[in-house]
Structure 1
Amino acid sequence: MRKKPEYIFNKEIESKLTSFKIYLQKLGNGANTIRQKSNYAGYFLKWLETEHLQPEETRYNDLLSFIDYCKLEVDALSGVEGNSKRHINSKLRSIRNFYEYLKQFNPAIINPATNLNLKGIGQKLPSNIIDFKELENLYQSFESTTNREKRNKIILGILVYQGVTTEELHQLEPSHLKLKEGKIVVPGNRRRNSRTLELKPIQILELHEYLTEIRPTILKEITAPRPARKPTKINHPKIENQLFVSINGSENIKNSLLHMFKAIQKLNPEILHPKQIRASVITYWLKNHNLRQVQYMAGHKYVSSTERYQLNNLDSLQSKLEKLHPLNGAKSDY
């Protein structure tokens, strides 16, 4: 992939970025994140050179000048002028990470990007919210005859009743099920907190059958000759630790979810993807639990993430108020 001109650096900057990348890797950052953060840190170091500044000399006011520079810059490839606030904040986060890396060698160095963020970035609100009764009807009417369909219905149940993400579905292991207690442990990651959630009685019965009969059969059949295309190499230790596995032995259940949602859309064309189900579930939870409870149930690290979903309830309330307003012809009960 061809680098943008602003991310092409001299040997001195590249040398600094090499050890920064190793630092990020040790922190557990993925390849794409490391590439982006090193590009943004290099972009900042390149700007420091033009301003004849050293990183250890840079202060808060210098960062304000850097932000102004980002706002005025014209993209050499697209010709678009100015970075968005979101883009600038990403650069500032990378700069903070770079100074945290520098502190390993110079603990006295000041991080000028600490607590520096551009405000006023609007977050996209959850949309296409489905009424929870419709989700329950979908779950109850979902056909489950074959092992594949039974597995898919259990996945659908966890989406509807526990509101998990697809990433969390991949992380679930058999040990996360506490069927005697009627609970499931959803593991955390860098973006979400772990939590322990209640299972519905019908889920407990289905999950017991899945663990004792369906899943062992699927794992056994994975190695049997099949006409369908299979991964060239099956990672048996990996899939044996996963709660949900592809019928064809893939570690990734993305295709399984894709086929599952094609079946779902035949039952309810309005339900398009797992994110929509999760948004609908969180919106429903907010009608029945307080904000902090829902924050925990959803695994949100920040309460602001949960507050976004309150707007869906406000819109619903506003619609009801408009119907009852005297000017809209509603009769009064006085």
Structure 2
Amino acid sequence: MTKLSLEMYLNQNLSTKTAESYIYTINHFLKTNPKAKRFKFQDIVSYMEQVSSKQSNIQYRVRILSAIKRYYDYLVMAGLRNDHPCKKLNIKNKQNPSIQVQDLFSSEELQLLLTRENRYQYLDSRNSVLLSLLIYQGLTSEELTELKIKDIDLDAGTIYIKASTNQNRRTLELLNRQMIVFSKYLNEVRPELLRCNTDKLLLSKLGKPISVDGIHAIIEPSKPLFPDRNLNPRTIRMSVICNWLNEKKIPLEKVQELAGHKWPGTTEKYFKVDSLQQRELINRFFPL
């Protein structure tokens, strides 16, 4: 293994800033642990216990563990290890509790939202665009209201989400099934809906930029599909993030980027815990 190979792997899978941070953390980990290449689960737990004793900041510790996980991802990918010693090791934060994933929605359940028809054809097209951005890209209501026409690049098949106080900026891929829907809305439907001078992507039925309340109103008629759970734009986004991690097994760092989370600890809350033993280990070695 060469440093360049590791750097190339990280830069291919992470943003430049995150890759640089992880390279620094991994190099320190390897320098202080010469036998790290052969570490087992308990070795990493012991190392993180040392980190915990020196640094109480939960986000710092989560970043250290995330970088170490990525190092072992690389070893497995390169054929230098057959197993990943800490893939399911997470840091429990009592001040930042895990999401109640049992109350969220599966990918199949979210698909049901796209089957609802609207009596107005133009609103059907608008709703398809809006709902697809909720259930495929996991956008927040605020991000939906801020989208502009220029943020959609149909040639590249991407959508740009600008940064906000709580979210990082990011460029996300559109699914193939979204391309025709977006093209029809942009070229045919939106011009017919438009009743004011605005470059905002999503319009209300009155032809003005849609509001957060307007987005909630679009979700409201679908609530009877799940009478025992709370369906709203926020729980839809939470479900999407949870499904990325647990259904699709997308790596934590990639999900963090897709969701726009500023800290990996925010993303880590969405992991489903598979084992009581794992929870006991985390509580034992990472108390707050």
- TM band (smaller chain): 0.5 to 0.7
Q: What is the match of residue 164 of structure 2? A: 189
Give the aligned partner of residue 144 of structure 2. 169
What amino acid does structure 2 have at the position aligned with 1:302? Answer: W
Partner letter of residue 99 of structure 2?
P
* Contact kept in structure 1, 2:140 and 2:237, CA below 8 Å: yes
Q: Distance in 2 between matches of 1:176 and 1:307?
A: 28
1:79 aligns with none
Structure 2 alignment gaps of length 5 or more: 1-92, 277-288
Distance in 2, matches of 1:146 and 1:123, equals 43
> 2:205 is paired with a residue of what secondary structure?
coil
- Asked if the contact 1:271/1:277 (under 8 Å) is kept, the reply is no
Q: Mean alpha-carbon deviation: is it higher for 129-138 or for 153-162?
A: 129-138
The answer to whether the 8 A contact 1:264-1:271 is kept is no
**Deviation at residue 305 of structure 1 after TM alignment:** 0.8
Matching of residues 183-262 of structure 1 within 5 Å = 183-219=158-194, 222=195, 236-237=196-197, 240-262=198-220
Q: Kindly report which structure 2 residues correspond to 1:1-334, keeping only aligned pairs within 5 A, or say none.
A: 122-127=95-100, 128-139=103-114, 141-144=115-118, 146-219=121-194, 222=195, 236-237=196-197, 240-269=198-227, 270=229, 272-287=231-246, 288-310=249-271, 313-314=272-273, 317-318=274-275
**Greater C-alpha radius of gyration:** 1
CA deviation after TM superposition for structure 1 residue 182, in Å? 1.4
Q: Report the Cα distance in structure 2 between the residues aligned to 1:242 and 1:204, rounded to whole angstroms.
A: 18
Which structure is higher in RCO with an 8 Å CA cutoff and minimum separation 6?
Answer: 2
Q: Distance in 2 between matches of 1:284 and 1:203?
A: 19
Residue pair 1:142, 1:264 contacting (<8 A) in 2 also: yes
Cα deviation, 1:6-40, whole Å, max 9, x if unaligned, reads xxxxxxxxxxxxxxxxxxxxxxxxxxxxxxxxxxx
Deviations 1:252-283 (A, max 9, x none): 42332232112222444345201101111101
Question: Equivalent residue of 2:160, what SS?
Answer: strand
Give how far 1:250 is off: 4.2
CA distance in 1: counterparts of 2:152 and 2:215, whole angstroms: 21
One-letter amino acid of the structure 2 residue matched with residue 142 of structure 1:
R
Which ranges of structure 1 fall in alignment gaps of 5 or more residues?
1-119, 223-235, 320-334
- Measure, in 2, the Cα distance between the counterparts of 1:179 and 1:142: 25
Contact 2:162 2:169 in 1 (8 A): yes
> Equivalent residue of 1:241, what SS?
coil
TM-aligned CA deviation for residue 197 of structure 1:
1.1
Secondary structure of 1:185's counterpart equals strand
- After the TM superposition, which segments of 4 or more aligned residues of structure 1 sit over 4 Å from their partners? none
Matched pairs, number: 179
Q: Does the residue aligned with 2:159 lie in a helix, a strand or coil? A: strand
Partner Cα distance (1:308, 1:184) in 2: 26
For 2:111, give the aligned amino acid.
Answer: E
Residue by residue, what CA displacement relative to the aligned partner does 1:148-186 show, whole Å, maximum 9, x if unpaired?
122112111100000000110011111111111111111
Letter in 2 for 1:279: M
What TM-score do you get using the length of structure 1 for normalisation? 0.50
- Secondary structure of 1:196's counterpart equals strand
Between the aligned residues of both structures, percent identity stands at 31
Deviation at 1:123, TM superposition (A): 2.6
State how far apart, in whole Å, the 2-side matches of 1:268 and 1:165 are: 20
Q: Quick check: 1:142–1:153 contact (8 Å CA) kept in 2?
A: no
Q: Which amino acid aligns with 1:152?
A: N
Q: C-alpha offsets along residues 171-229 of structure 1, whole Å, 9 cap, x if unaligned?
A: 1111111111111111111211111111111111000000001100000xx3xxxxxxx
Distance 1:276 1:309 in 2: 12
Contact 2:145 2:212 in 1 (8 A): no
| 1:138–1:268 Cα contact (<8 Å) kept | no
Q: TM-score, normalised by structure 2?
A: 0.57
Write the distance in 1 (CA, Å) between the matches of 2:142 and 2:94: 26
